[in-house]
Chains A and B, each alone.
Chain A
Amino acid sequence: MNGDGPVLEVVDLVKHFPGRSGQGAVHAVDGVSFTIGRGEMLGLVGESGSGKSTIANCVIRLVEPSAGTILLLGTDITHRSRRSMRPLRREMHIVFQDPYSSLDPRMTCGQIVGEPLSVQGIMRGKALEQRVADLFDRVGLRDELRFRYPHELSGGQRQRVGLARALAVEPALLVADEPVSALDVSVQASILNLLRDLQDELGFSCLFITHDLATVEYLCDRVAVMYLGQIVELAQTAELFAAPKHPYTQALLSAAVLPDPVAQRTRTRVVLEGDPPSPVEPPSGCRFRTRCPLEHRSAPESHDVDPPLIDVGRGHLVACHLVGPGRDAPSLLDPAELAR
C-alpha cells in the first residue's frame, strides 16, 4: 500500500453486459479512466444509462469488469476473489440510493451499523456497542434508534444509518450512489450537510454519483461528466461549472433548472435534439455526434474517430474533436457559432 498515491485509480475500465438474444452486448462502460486522491471528492455525473452506477458497482466489486484495471490504495483489485478481497473491504464502503431496500429488514439499526466492525473482527462486545453508539451520535441519530428496525425509521434516518454503517470501519474510500435522490428536498439538505461535515472530519475520499449537477457543485472537488459509457469531460468543479468545454457539458449545464425565476427565465438554453442512442449500438466515432449541435463542424472526423480524453490545460480533460490545448469548443449559447 502506498502513502501518497491516489486512493482509487481506474484505468481503461470496460463493462459490457451480454445483450438479449439476437442483440449485441450493452456497452455500459467503455474505456473510463480516473483517479481519486486522498480526501478528495470526485463527482460522477451523467444521465440515466450513461454508466455511472456500473462504474460504482465495478469499483466495489459487485460487478466483474470486462477489461481494465482498478487499483485501491495501489493494490490491483480488478479480479480479486471474494476471499482475497476481504482484508481490503474495510478500505471502501458504499451508500446506495434506496435506503428502503439496502438495509436488512431483519436486523436492528444498531446491528446493521455494527456488522462491518464485527465481520472484520475489529471489535466486539462492549467496545462494539460503544462504537455503534458513538456512530449514531455522529450521524445525528437518537440513541434509542439503535434498537429499532429499518422500517420504523424515515427515509432520511435510514440514509443516516447507511452512512454510519459505511463509515464504521473508517474506510479510505466512500462510494455514494445517488444517496439523496430518493429523499425529499428538506431531508436531502441535511444528508448533504452531514456528508460534508463527516468528510471534513474523517478525511475519507469519495466517489459521488449523481444526476444532479447542483449537488455536485455543492459537494465535490472535481467532476467527471459521462455520456453513453464514457467520460467526456473532467475538471475542477469551479472550472467546469464556470467554463464547460464539451458541447454535452454545455448542454447539460444549460438544461438544469435554477430555483430562481429571474435567472431561469433570462438564460439561454440548449435543448438537445432526440434521445441518447442505445448503448447496444453506440454511434461510431464520437458518441455524442448524433445529438451534437456542432456536429457539422466536427464531421467527418467525428464519424470515424473516437475523440480521446486529453488534457487541455491544468488537468482539465475533454474528449471532443473541436477542443484542444488553447482551442475551446464554440459556445452553444452563441447562435452565430451554431450557424457557422
Chain B
Amino acid sequence: MSLLEVEDLSVRFDTDDGSVHAVDGLSLVLREGEVLGVVGESGCGKSVSFMALLGLLPETAVVTGRATFAGRELLGASSSELRRIRGREIAIVFQEPMTSLNPSFKIGSQIGEVLRRHLGLSNRAARARTIELLQLVRIPAPERRIDEYPHQLSGGMRQRVMIAMALACDPKILVADEPTTALDVTIQAGILDLMRDIRERLGTAIVLITHNLGVVADIADRVIVMYAGRKAEEAPVHELFASPQHPYTNGLLGAVPRPGPTLERRRLLEIPGRVPSLSEPPVACAFAPRCPRADELSRTAVPDLREVRPEHFVACFHPGPDENLAA
C-alpha cells in the first residue's frame, strides 16, 4: 500500500539572475515499510524534492504538483498542519549531525522537546521515553548520555541522537538525507545496520537520499536515479544494478572503482562534460550533451518515462545496459 504519492512535483527558484528549475515533473510512490533510495549528484534535485514536500524551502521557491500522504494533501497545506506532520508523522535526518543539533542544550532536552511538544508528555515521562529511544539507537550508557551536550559526543553518536529524535513520535516515514556521508566507514556500517533494524522492528518507511551507490546497494528496496531535476531511472535495487538502462546510471556505476582482484584493472568510466544549467525548462534530454548514445531525437525532444520491464522505468530514447560495464 502506498503511503506517500507524489505527482508531477516541480520546484522553481526565482532569483535575480533568472529562474532555476531545480525539480521538474517528479512523480514517485513510497510504500509502507520500504526503503526507497534516491540517488544523484549535487544539484540533481534529490534533497530539494523532499524539502519541498515537507514545506522546508524558503519563500522564493515556487512548488507545484500534488503530494498525498495518508489521504492528506501536503503541498499547499497550512504551516500549522505541516508542523504537525513534520516530526510526528514524517521525520527528517540531515547529513550534518554537528550543525543539526543545538550546541547549547543537552541532548535529553532536545529529544524531550519533541516528545513534550508533539505528544504532550510530562517532563518525567519524556525523560523515560528519551532513555528508551537512546537505547533503541544503541547509544551506550543512555542514562549518562542524556545529560551531555552535543560536543561531548562523536559524529556517529550525534547521528544516532538525530535518528533517535526523528523516531521520537514513531513516524511513518523517515527521510534520511545523506545520513552517513559525513561519517567514517566503520561508523557508517553501524548507522546502516541501525536503519535496517528500525525498518524491521518499527515498520518505518525510509527515504534514503544519497550519492553513494554502495549505501543504496546495501539497504534500498527500490531506487530512483535523478539527473538535472528529473527522474532518469527507477527500478527495484537488484534489477537496477544488474541491468541499468539509462546511460547516466550506467555512467555512475562505471565511475566508481570496484574492489576485487582484477589483474588488468579497467579504466573508470568517465562522464564527459558537466551538469547542465537549469535556467530553462528542458526542451531536449538533459543528459544528451554528455551521452554517448545521443542522437537527433534526444537533442530535440524530452524522453518520457517508459516501463521497460515490470517496475523498471527509464527516461531515455535508447535504453539498455552499457557493454563497457559488462564485467
Question: Residues on A close to B: CB < 8 A?
Answer: 47-48, 154, 156, 184-186, 188-190, 192-193, 211, 213-215, 217-218, 238, 241-242, 251-252, 254-262, 264-265, 269, 271-272, 274-276
Residues of A within 8 A of B68 (CB): none
Q: State whether A271 and B189 are in contact (beta carbons under 8 Å apart), knowing that A154-B274, A190-B270, A259-B256 are contacts in the complex.
A: yes
Residues of B within 8 A of A275 (CB): 154, 156-157, 187
Closest CB pairs A-B (n = 9):
A257-B214, A218-B257, A189-B255, A47-B184, A189-B268, A186-B271, A255-B189, A184-B41, A259-B213
Interface of B is mostly: helix
Scan B90-119; emit 1 where CB is below 8 A from any A CB, else 0.
000000000000000000000000000000
Q: State whether A193 and B267 are in contact (beta carbons under 8 Å apart), knowing that A154-B274, A255-B185 are contacts in the complex.
A: yes
Contact A193 B213 (CB under 8 A): no
Contact A252 B251 (CB under 8 A): no
Interface-centre pick from B154, B259, B272 (highest chain A CB count, 10 A): B259
B188 touches which of A189, A255, A265 (Cβ 8 Å)? A255
Q: Which residues of B165-222 have CB atoms within 8 Å of chain A's CB atoms? A: 184-190, 192-193, 211-215, 217-218
Interface-centre pick from A186, A238, A264 (highest chain B CB count, 10 A): A186
**CA gap between A39 and B268 in the complex, in Å:** 21
Residues of B within 8 A of A238 (CB): 261
**CA gap between A152 and B189 in the complex, in Å:** 38
Contact A257 B269 (CB under 8 A): no
Contact B186 A186 (CB under 8 A): no
Contact A48 B184 (CB under 8 A): yes
B186 touches which of A188, A189, A258, A272 (Cβ 8 Å)? A272
Residues of B within 8 A of A255 (CB): 185-186, 188-189
Q: Determine whether B310 belongs to the interface, using a CB cutoff of 8 Å to chain A.
A: no
Q: Determine whether B135 belongs to the interface, using a CB cutoff of 8 Å to chain A.
A: no
Contact B140 A257 (CB under 8 A): no
B268 touches which of A193, A262, A265 (Cβ 8 Å)? A193
**CA gap between A163 and B259 in the complex, in Å:** 25
**CA gap between A54 and B242 in the complex, in Å:** 41
Residues of B within 8 A of A156 (CB): 274
Contact A261 B237 (CB under 8 A): yes
